[in-house]
Structure 1
Amino acid sequence: MTPLDPETESPHPASAAEQNAGRAYTFRATGRGGPRSGSLLLALALFLLTLLTCLAAGAQFAASYARNETASFDEFVRALKLLVRHPSGLGGGLPFALTLMGILLAHELGHWFACRKHGIRASYPFFIPAPTLIGTLGAFILIRSPIRSRRALFDVGASGPIVGFSLALPALAYGILHGKVVPRLDAGSEFVFGIPLALRVMAALLRPGVAVTHLLLHPVGRAAWVGLFATALNLLPSGQLDGGHILRTLNDRWHARITQFLPLCLIPLGYFLWPGWYIWAGLLFGLSFFRSAPMLDATPLDPRRRVLALLSFFIFLACFMPEPV
């Protein structure tokens, strides 16, 4: 995800021409260049904290994998208490933690290097530690100067998901090949992970004859699953999300309309399938109030970028799960 930095980009009234184009605000950058002096230390501290929470989550996935069972949040809480007394058990979480953080870091570095390519100021990647079943709420960078070129905005938006997905696929393949065939995972279980299209296709290719509902992924594969889910969320075509950036480079009007209506579409999904969509509906609704700077260079995307836009759409389809858990 690549949101604007509210501290370094301040809104001021747009010109009449910009208002007629549907932009209520534009943004100007301050004179600061590059990452701030303390941002590297903050990024490193958050990275280490997230590594710790992901190690705890990975240790639980490793223990569940050894018992031929799916993980659950209740067991994760109990495992945390046990790890406090026996921290050496964190070592079992290394495969999951390193894989997941590698995928997330690759995603954010894709954004970061795209920013560097186009001379756009951006922060270092910031990880978000969380004592949850997966150990993190993801990562992000802050864009600290306006993106005034349609092609630059596309490169920044599309680079992260494409790079992250490219790293998640081999990890998913490893998780499938080293997965265990167990009784149906959703039989008598209160916590079952969703099955994205990418997992269904790769399982059919790599483990033919094995039903994906009977396949217990290796922790490396479970980390890849989290990476796929994060990629799908980032590719939602709304606001400041990566998918929103990509859509805006293709059609400003579609971007504005979908940004307004997508939160409403997620509410039924929250009611019927996964309550987490309520949170995302609220988040996207809040992000819809942030307006992007007008692009001074509106040169249409070249054929190569249009192909990458189509690839991003297929990546979204391969990763999206209406009912993740």
Structure 2
Amino acid sequence: MLRVLRPQPPRHSPGRLLLHLALFLATLATTSTVGGLMFASSEVELRLASKGFSGFSLFWRLITDREVLTAGLAFSLPLMAILLAHEMGHYVACRRHYLDATLPFFIPVPFGIGTMGAFIRIRSPLMTKRELVDVGASGPIAGFVLTLPVLVWGILQSQVVHELPKGGYLVFGEPILFKLLSRMIYPELAQGADLLLHPTAYAAWIGLLVTALNLLPFGQLDGGHITYAALGRIHRLVAWPLLVVLVLLGFKWTGWWVWAMVALVMGVRHPWVPGEDDPFPEDRRWVVVASWVIFLLSFTPEPIKVVP
């Protein structure tokens, strides 16, 4: 069995720490702004416009309004916590194996949900199945564990409605976990009622989607690391058929075609590692099973549908 002796990873420089902090704060600002504008009532803008505000002054007053800030933070804080837990799970696993890894880089954007996610850069190559499983699974498991209480609280704050508002709106697909919890809390949902999501519930829903996407069994995604470690060279035989399944799901939700392209760009099959033929560590089997269960609980075939 391959064993790897590694030196202690280097410490992070003060300048790099400031960069990570700046990106985190910038992403907190963009997710708060986008979340606030998404969930605050439309009357806020009308009220400010009636007072004579327009252009940039209207936008500034809008994003600093108490209602917008409250709604934005109810969305951004749990979302950022889930993303941070996911990436720090990877980071801690890397440090435990003496792998050289960066702290999380957050990506702020002024549209969508206010971020394109976060990532860490692992400079050391993964050499063994134990490293693959520990590093690959630690992020999704950590993010999922934090998502659970956020999801429960967010559902409790959401509103049950028996008639949806007229006009265009988004319908979010329900992962198994979301469906189970929402119907346990609100039995009337099983009778045809709908749930208007609280900002925190939406953040938790995104957390489930991010977890499912990262656990797709391709290339160097988290799911690719885990599946390759568990199956070894058999992963090369099942990777392409699984990609065909993903492409077929694209007829349900076109976003899966984007992820199929991502898999093609990064490589559908996981790169070879020296410990490929080593026996799988028995004490890590539960980690693989837990990861696959988390994927099933977090996955939904049609995450988003636009109703005109």
1:210 aligns with 2:189: yes
| Cα distance between partner residues in 2 of 1:50 and 1:252 | 38
Moved more, 168-177 or 203-212: 203-212
* Runs of 5+ consecutive residues of structure 1 not aligned to the other structure: 1-28, 68-79
Match of 2:63 among 87, 111, 123: 87
1:222 pairs with 2:202:
yes
Equivalence for 2:39: 62
Structure 2 gaps of 5+ residues are 1-5, 45-55
TM-score normalized with structure 1 length:
0.78
**Bigger shift: residues 180-189 or 161-170:** 180-189
In structure 2, C-alpha distance between the alignment counterparts of 1:226 and 1:65, rounded to whole Å: 23
1:202-256 CA distances to partner (integer Å, 9 max, x unpaired)? 1122222334851112211110000000000000011110000001111122322
In structure 1, which of residues 182, 197, 215 is the aligned counterpart of residue 161 of structure 2? Answer: 182
Checking the alignment, whether the CA contact within 8 Å between 1:34 and 1:122 is kept in structure 2 is no
Q: Secondary structure at the match of 1:191?
A: strand
Which of 239, 253, 278 in structure 1 is aligned with 2:219? 239
The amino acid of 2:138's aligned partner reads: S
| Matching residue's letter, 1:302 | P
Is 1:127 aligned to residue 106 of structure 2? yes
Distance 1:288 1:244 in 2: 10
Structure 2 residue identity aligned to 1:288: G
Superposition pairs of residues 241-280 of structure 1, within 5 angstroms: 241-270=221-250, 272-280=251-259
Q: What do the CA deviations read for 1:3-30 (whole angstroms, capped 9, x no partner)?
A: xxxxxxxxxxxxxxxxxxxxxxxxxx9x
Q: Does the 8 A contact of 1:181 with 1:214 survive in 2?
A: yes
Q: Match for residue 93 of structure 2?
A: 114
Q: How many residues align?
A: 284
Give 1:37 deviation, angstroms.
6.3
Quick one: percent identity of the two aligned structures?
46
Q: Name the SS for the 1:273 alignment partner.
A: coil
Q: CA, structure 1 residues 63+41, in 2 after alignment: closer, same or farther (shift >3 Å)?
A: same
- Asked if 1:44 corresponds to 2:21, the answer is yes
One-letter identity of the residue aligned with 2:33: A
Given that 2:75 and 2:203 are in contact with CA atoms closer than 8 Å, whether structure 1 keeps it comes out as: yes
Greater shift in the superposed pair: 192-201 or 83-92: 83-92
Partner residue of 2:75? Answer: 96
Instruction: State the shift of 1:121 in Å.
Output: 0.6
Residue 299 to residue 252, structure 1, CA distance change in 2 (3 Å): closer
- Secondary structure of the residue aligned to 1:210 is helix
**d(CA) in 2 for partners of 1:115, 1:213:** 45
Q: How does 1:276-295 map to 2 (within 5 A)?
A: 276-288=255-267, 292=271, 294-295=273-274
Query: How far did 1:49 drift?
Result: 1.7
CA-to-partner distance for each residue in 1:263-316, whole Å, 9 max, x for gaps?
44333322x222222211111100007863623485433344211211111110
Q: Deviations over 1:149-191 (max 9, x none)?
A: 2112110001110110000011100011111111355975442
What's the CA shift for 1:43? 1.8
Q: Which moved more, 1:204-213 or 1:214-223?
A: 204-213
Gap change, CA 1:295 and 1:81, over 3 Å in 2:
farther
RMSD (CA atoms) = 2.9
Tell me which amino acid in the other structure corresponds to 1:87: I
Q: State the distance in 2 between where 1:267 and 1:297 align.
A: 28
Which piece of structure 1 moves more, 226-235 or 246-255?
Answer: 246-255
